[in-house]
Amino acid sequence: MTTAFLHAEFGSPETAAAAVESLVSAGVSPGDIEIYSRRPVETESPLLPRRSRMSLVAVLSAIAAGSGATALVFWIQRDYPLVTGGMPVTSGWATAVVTFEVTMAGAIFGTLCMMIREAGLAGSRRRAPVPDLPDEGVIVQLPRAEGLAERLAGAGALRVEIAEPPG
Amino acid sequence: MRGHGIHGPPEGPRRVPGHSPAKSASQVREEILGRMEGRSGAYLASVTICGAVVAWALYAWGYQIFRGIGHAGISRPVYWGLHIVNFVFWIGISHAGTLISAILRLTGAGWRKPVTRAAEAITVFCLMIGGLFPLIHIGRPAVFFWMLPYPNERLLWPNFRSPLFWDLTAILTYLTGSLIYLYLPLIPDLADIASRSDGFKRKVYRALSLGWTGADRQWQALERAMKLMAVLILAVAVSVHSVVAYDFSMSVAPTWHSTIFAPYFVVGAIFSGIAALVLVMAALRKALRLEDYLRELHFVNLGKLLLLLSLVWFYFTFSEHLTTWYGNFPGEMRVLAVREHGLYGFLFWTMVACNFAVPLVLLGIARLRSIATVAASGAAVLVGMWLERFLIVVPTLATPYLPAAAGGYAPSWIELSITAGTFAAMILLYLLFVKAFPIIAIWEYDDGIPAR
C-alpha cells in the first residue's frame, strides 16, 4: 500500500523547528519526519537526531586495512627475503609508514561509504517524493494522516501540499 | 541559521551584532553561480597560453622518454635535479589546502567559508602535478607499475623498506583523501547547479551530485563525514611531507641525514602552501570580482599565519645550519660552504630574503599589512621555497662525501620546459575548475554575508 505525504513549507528554520517539536509531541515518530532545505538547518542539538555508525565503521575499516596491509607486507618479505641495509627481513620500523598510510586509506574509504549509505545517495531507492526546494525556506515532510495538515498550518506553514510517493 | 532543538530553548537566528546582512543567502547563490558563466576574452587567452605551455612541456617530456633520461640535465653525481625539486615543491604546496581547510573547519573558524574550497582545489591540483614527477624522473614511465605490490609471474615484489615505496602509498592516500575531501562538500552545490541547468549539463551535474535532495539526514551525514575527514586528512597531510623528507633523511648524504628533516619539511610545506593560497585568493578576487567574499580580513588573517610560519621556518633553518656548522664535519662543511658562500650563495641569500626578510617587513609591520602586501609576501615565499628545495637537493648531490666525486649541475631545456609546464598546468586546472564548479561553497552561506 502506498502512502501519500504532506509537504509543509516554512519560511524559516525556527518555525520549522517549532512545527517539528509540535509534531513529535503530538505523537508523530521522528523517524517519519524529514526536513529538506538548500542549506543545513543548524540547531544547538540535531532537530531530528539520527544514529550514525560512521565513526565505528571508519575505525573498523582502518583496522581491517591496516592489519591487511601489514600482514601482506610481512608475508611478502618472508616469501621473498630481501636484505636492505642490514635490516632484518621483517621489520616493524620499516613497515610502519605503509601500515599507517593504508590504515588511513581504510578509514577514508569507510567514511566515504558510510556517508553515501547514511545519506541515501548513489542509487538508493526512495520511498518518499522529493520536494522542490525553496530558496530560503524549509520543507517538512511526513506521511499523510488525519489532522496533521491542520497542525502544520497552525504551526506557521506557508503552504501545505499533498505529494504522492514516487513510482 | 541557529534555531533550537526539540528540547532546547528557542533561540533567534544567528546574526553578527551591529550588522545587517548585505546580501541574503539567495543573492550569494545567484552571484557565485553567476561567476561560473561567461568566458571573457582574457579568460580564453589565459587558457590558450597556459594550454600552449603545457603542450610544450608534454612535448619535452615525450622527447625525454623517446631519447632517454640522459637528455635531462641530471648526470653523475647530481642524479636528482629539477624533477625532484619540483616534486618536493608541489607536494609541499599541496599542504595549503586540505591542511588549512581541515584546521579551520575543526576549529569552527567562521572566516573560512570563502577560503576552504579554493584551498582544497590547490591541494588536489598540486598533488596531481607533484605526483607526476616521480613518473617523469624514472625516465621510463611505462614501468611505473613495478612499484605496485601485485602477484607477478617473475615473483618480484617492491621493496617495502624503500622510502620511495612509502612515497607511493603516502601520496596515493593523500590524493584520494583530498579528492574526497574536495568532493563531499561540493555535492550540495552540484545538486543546486543541476536544478538550474538543462540538457546534458543537467545530466552530468545530477550524476555528480549522486542524487542529493537536501534532506536533513543528508546534511547530518555530510557534516559527520566532513568532521571525520578533516581529522583523517590532517594526519595524512603531516605524514605525506614527512615521508617526502624521509626520501632525503634516510640516505647517508651530507646535510640530509638529519633528525629534524621531517618536521622541517612539514613546516616548509605548510609555509609554501599558505603562500600559494593567498596568491590564488588574490587572483580569484580580482578575476572573478569576489571582493565581497574574499575580504581584507581573510588576507590579514592568512598573512599573520604566513608571518608565524616564516618565523618557524627561520628557526628550523637556523637550527639545521647551526648544528651542521658547529659539528664541523668536513663532508657537511663543504656543502654548507658551497651553499652559503660558493656557487649557490646568491640563491641561498635570495631564499633567506624571500622567506624571512620580505614577510617580516611586509607582514610584521601592522600598518603595511594589506591585500597587496600579503599577496606580495606570498609570491616571495613561493620563490623562496622553490629555491629552498633546489638548495636541499642539488648542492648536497654536487658535493658528496668523496671530494673526487664532486660535480656540477645545469638544468636542460627539457627540465626547464617541464618546470614551466607545471606552473602553467596549475593555472590551467584552476581556470577550468572555476568555470565548472563554484569556487566558494554556496551552501555554507546560510546567513548570507554581513555588510562591511
Reported as a single tens digit per residue, the pLDDT across B13-56 is: 444 444 445 777 788 888 888 888 878 889 999 999 999 999 99
Reported as a single tens digit per residue, the pLDDT across B263-320 is 999 999 999 999 999 999 999 999 888 888 888 888 998 999 999 999 999 999 999 9
Q: What is the pLDDT of residue B7?
A: 35
Q: Is the pLDDT of residue A126 over 70?
A: no
Reported as a single tens digit per residue, the pLDDT across B176-208 is 999 999 999 999 999 989 988 888 999 999 999
B151: Cβ–Cβ under 8 A, 6 or more apart, which residues? none
> Which residues on chain A are in Cβ contact (under 8 Å) with B216?
34-37, 41, 47-48
B410: Cβ–Cβ under 8 A, 6 or more apart, which residues? B73
In contact, A99 and A63? CB cutoff 8 Å: no
Residues 320-379 of chain B with CB under 8 A from chain A are: none
Which residue in B348, B376, B336 sits closest to B360, CA to CA?
Answer: B376
Cβ-nearest to A45 among B5, B188, B222: B5
Residues 158-177 of chain B with CB under 8 A from chain A are: 159-163, 165-166, 169-170, 172-173, 176-177
**Pick the residue with more confidence: B362 or B102?**
B362
Q: What is the pLDDT of residue A68?
A: 96
From A131's Cα to the closest Cα of chain B, the distance in A is 8
Percent of chain B residues past pLDDT 90, beyond the cut: 59
- At B9, is the pLDDT very low, low, confident or very high (cuts 50, 70, 90)? very low
Long-range contacts of A145-149, Cβ-Cβ distance < 8 Å, separation of 24 or more: A145/A28, A148/A6, A148/A23, A148/A28, A149/A6, A149/A8
Which residue in B376, B272, B265 sits closest to B320, CA to CA?
Answer: B265
From A120's Cα to the closest Cα of chain B, the distance in A is 7
Interchain CB distance below 8 Å, B149 and A42 = no
Which residue in A166, A133, A167 sits closest to A7, CA to CA?
Answer: A133
Q: What Å distances lie between residue B276 and B83, B130, B375, B380, CA to CA?
A: 20, 14, 9, 10
- The residues pairing with A6 across neighbouring beta strands, listed in sequence order, are A142, A162
From A44's Cα to the closest Cα of chain B, the distance in A is 6
Contacts A–B by Cβ distance under 8 A: 207
| C-alpha to C-alpha distance for A73 and A77, rounded to whole angstroms | 6
C-alpha cell at B48: 590558450
Interchain CB distance below 8 Å, A17 and B4 = yes
Which residue in A119, A106, A23, A24 sits closest to B187, CA to CA?
Answer: A119
The ipTM, to two decimals, is 0.90
Residue of A nearest to B177 (CA): A108
* Other beta carbons within 10 Å of A45: 10
Q: What is the pLDDT of residue A42?
A: 73
Interchain CB distance below 8 Å, A45 and B216 = no
Cβ-nearest to A47 among B165, B216, B222: B216
Question: To probe the interface with B, which of A103, A112, A127, A141 has the most B CB atoms within 10 Å?
Answer: A112
Interchain CB distance below 8 Å, A100 and B239 = yes
Interchain CB distance below 8 Å, B225 and A114 = yes
Reported as a single tens digit per residue, the pLDDT across B115-159 is 888 888 998 999 999 999 999 998 889 888 888 888 777 777 888
Coil/strand/helix, residue A139: strand
DSSP annotation of A123: S
Cβ-nearest to B211 among A16, A37, A121: A121
Q: What is the pLDDT of residue B323?
A: 93
Q: What is the pLDDT of residue B65?
A: 94
Reported as a single tens digit per residue, the pLDDT across B322-343 is 999 999 999 999 999 999 999 9
What does A21-41 look like in DSSP terms, one character per residue? HHHHHTT--GGG-EEEESS--
Reported as a single tens digit per residue, the pLDDT across B376-410 is 999 999 999 999 999 999 999 999 999 999 998 99
In contact, B444 and B28? CB cutoff 8 Å: no
Q: What is the pLDDT of residue A124?
A: 62
Residues 108-147 of chain A with CB under 8 A from chain B are: 108, 111-112, 114-116, 118-124, 130, 133, 135-136
Residues 20-49 of chain B with CB under 8 A from chain A are: 24-26, 29
Q: Is the pLDDT of residue A117 over 60?
A: yes
> Which residues on chain A are in Cβ contact (under 8 Å) with B24?
136
Reported as a single tens digit per residue, the pLDDT across B202-240 is 999 999 999 898 888 899 999 999 999 999 999 999 999
Q: What is the pLDDT of residue B19?
A: 46
> Which residues on chain A are in Cβ contact (under 8 Å) with B192?
38
B106 and chain A in contact, CB less than 8 A: no
In contact, B123 and B173? CB cutoff 8 Å: no
Tell me the CA end-to-end span of chain B in Å, nearest whole number: 20
Reported as a single tens digit per residue, the pLDDT across B412-439 is 999 999 999 999 999 999 999 999 999 8
Q: Tell me what the pLDDT averaged over chain B comes to.
A: 88
Q: What is the pLDDT of residue A80?
A: 81
Q: What is the pLDDT of residue B48?
A: 97
- At A133, is the pLDDT very low, low, confident or very high (cuts 50, 70, 90)? confident
Interchain CB distance below 8 Å, B25 and A118 = no
From B47's Cα to the closest Cα of chain A, the distance in A is 33
A31 and chain B in contact, CB less than 8 A: no
What does B293-348 look like in DSSP terms, one character per residue? TS-HHHHHHHHHHHHHHHHHHHHHHHHHHHHHHHHT-HHHHHHHHHHHTSTTHHHH
Q: What Å distances lie between residue B56 and B69, B81, B131, B341, B424, CA to CA?
A: 17, 20, 19, 36, 10
Interchain CB distance below 8 Å, B216 and A24 = no
Q: Is the pLDDT of residue B360 over 60?
A: yes
Mean pLDDT (whole number) for A15-39: 84
| C-alpha to C-alpha distance for B51 and B57, rounded to whole angstroms | 10
Interchain CB distance below 8 Å, B6 and A45 = yes
Interchain CB distance below 8 Å, A40 and B219 = yes
Interchain CB distance below 8 Å, A43 and B162 = no
